[in-house]
């Protein structure tokens, strides 16, 4: 999957449907914290985001909202995005990776 944003924009929100190994939608409504990192594999993240990510019981079950100018610190290009869901009762992590494409705006 590729999530695309125009440089300078913060919409649309990233709305994902995350399923378990059996194909069932994971209930993220309570008991989880989230972290999104954007960057390149094997390198330090260019953006690490923990606020503005919410879980739900039904699809889409993870929504990420960007604040104004939150993406302005990174250059246009193709990045890897790594989303972590941590179950608070066990501290066990679940990961999802996807591509994040930041497209240059028309000058």
- The per-residue pLDDT for range 36-46, each reduced to its tens digit, is 999 999 999 99
Containing structural domain, residue 61: 2-103
Residue 47's contacts (CB-CB under 8 Å, 6 or more residues apart) are 36, 37, 38, 39, 70, 71, 73, 74
| Closest-CA residue to 95 (of 34, 15, 30, 14) | 34
For the chain, what is the domain count? Answer: 1
pLDDT at 62: 98
Locate all alpha helices (DSSP H) within the chain, ordered by sequence. none
Interval 82-92 mean pLDDT: 97
Say whether pLDDT at 107 is over 90. Answer: no
Q: What is the pTM of this model?
A: 0.92
Please report, for the domain that includes residue 33, its CATH number.
Answer: 2.60.40
pLDDT in tens, 43-77: 999 999 999 999 999 999 999 999 999 999 999 99
| E strand spans, 7-91 | 14-16, 32-39, 47-49, 53-55, 62-64, 77-87
Length, in residues, of the chain? 107
Say whether pLDDT at 10 is over 90. Answer: no
| Mean of per-residue pLDDT scores for the chain | 95
């Amino acid at each position: 999957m590729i999530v695309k944003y125009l440089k300078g924009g913060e919409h649309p929100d990233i709305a994902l449907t995350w399923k378990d190994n059996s194909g069932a939608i994971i209930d993220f409504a309570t008991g989880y914290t989230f972290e999104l990192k954007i960057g390149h594999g094997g390198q330090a993240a260019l953006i690490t985001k923990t606020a503005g990510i919410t879980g739900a019981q039904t699809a889409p079950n993870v929504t990420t909202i960007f604040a104004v100018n939150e993406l302005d610190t990174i250059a246009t290009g193709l990045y890897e995005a790594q989303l972590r869901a941590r179950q608070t009762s066990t501290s066990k992590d679940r990961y999802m990776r996807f591509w994040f494409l930041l497209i240059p705006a028309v000058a």
